[in-house]
Amino acid sequence: MTGPDANDPDKVAAFVRLFACPQEMISNLHTRVEPFHAGGIDFPLTVNDGAPTCYICCPSVGYIDYAIEETRNFSAHPALRATVSALIRAARPLLRASGLDRQVQVNNWLLSTNPVPALTRATAADIRNRLTARFPGHAIVLRSLNPMADAATMQALRDEGFRLIPARQIYILAETRLTSDMRRDRALLAKTALQRVGNDGFSDVDYSRCADLYARLYLRKYTPLNPAYTAAAIAGLHRTGLMQLAGLRDASGQLVAVTGLFENGRTLTQPIVGYDISRPQREGLYRMMMQIARDHAAARGLFFNVSAGAAAFKRHRGGVPVIEYTAVHLRHLPLRQRIAARGIEALLARIGVPLLERFEL
């Protein structure tokens, strides 16, 4: 499978304008968003100077704080959970020494998964040269690379001196055959008494409800370390066409479930999912939101990256597990930072990845 061809320059420009004040859009994020052009491609660029912030711009939060939260998946193995938590905490000084939080991140759409344009070796070199000249004290970072979609891009980055650090295990819906769970999800969506809402069915009064439904699931049920998208962010992403919305309303017209779909090139991601978690689980609100996204991808022939989390759910619906990587360029930084980053890379490769694969996380 191939990844997206390129970023749409108009989409990049609209995104940079929208996120001129990022904290108004994502309340737990501090960063600076700029346009960046290299190798004939336009990118959104984020700039961070090392202060802790949301994991989408801060590896220490992603690799340490978020990872500690994720050890809940080992709750059936208390000794293993304690050991893994201790290892993660012990790695904090090493990650701090790497300086990866002081970074410029290329192609950062401020989503948990950023579809990466196809990069040639010449483009990778241009990115490296431009950014090391402008930001000599910052690590250069690209997230969301995986070998199913980005094999050629990953090789081009390696060839130009980038290191590939394992990040997490994600799922790709590469299965065209309907599984039994997918059939049940499709039947549930077809017979629900709830009213389906398409992209054009959302108005100004809905955006706060969308943000609340997302927060109920991702910030309250899971972890407040996830991006805290505000109503202003969802409104802006929808109004500019950067994100499409779909959902379900009850008989009173209130939204009870919502999903936001982000297309870039030939890849679809689903950064927004939310539903009223107080409603009966038998309604299958999450299942229906995922089915809507799958139908959207299938109708447009898109490569559907369903990101991380809900591993068993995604496996039962044809999700193929694959390790996602973050590319980092550090050769222009002091030796101690490079050594620390290689230590993090080795720990993740030798311990982190085997755990993810062994426990199917």
Tell me the pLDDT band of 2, cut-offs 50, 70 and 90. very low
Residue whose tokens read 């009064």: 205
For the 180-319 domain, the top CATH level (class) is alpha beta
State how far the Cα of 268 lies from the Cα of 282, in Å rounded to an integer: 27
Of 214, 286, 182, 223, the residue nearest 73 (C-alpha): 223
User: What are the distances in angstroms from CA 220 to CA 75, 212, 214, 225?
Assistant: 19, 10, 9, 10
SS3 at position 157: helix
Residue 65 sits at the vertex; the CA angle it makes with 63 and 71, to the nearest 5 degrees, is: 85
Rg of the chain's alpha carbons, rounded to an integer?
A: 20
Distances (CA, A) of 338 to 55, 82, 98, 260, 335: 21, 29, 6, 38, 5
Residue 127: both structure tokens together: 């990115």
What digits encode the pLDDT tens for the residues 59-106?
999 999 999 998 888 878 888 889 889 989 999 999 999 999 999 999
pLDDT digits (tens, 9 = 90+) for 189-209: 999 999 999 999 999 999 999
If phi > 0 it is left, if psi is from -120 to 50 it is alpha, else beta; for residue 307 that is left
- In tens, the pLDDT along 137-173 reads 999 999 999 999 999 999 999 999 999 999 999 999 8
Over residues 33-66, the pLDDT tens digits come to 999 999 999 999 999 999 999 999 999 999 999 9
For residues 57 and 45, is the Cβ–Cβ distance under 8 A? Answer: no
pTM: 0.93
Contact present, 162 and 327 (Cβ < 8 Å): yes
Q: What's the mean pLDDT in 251-280?
A: 95
Domain boundaries, the chain: 9-169+321-358, 180-319
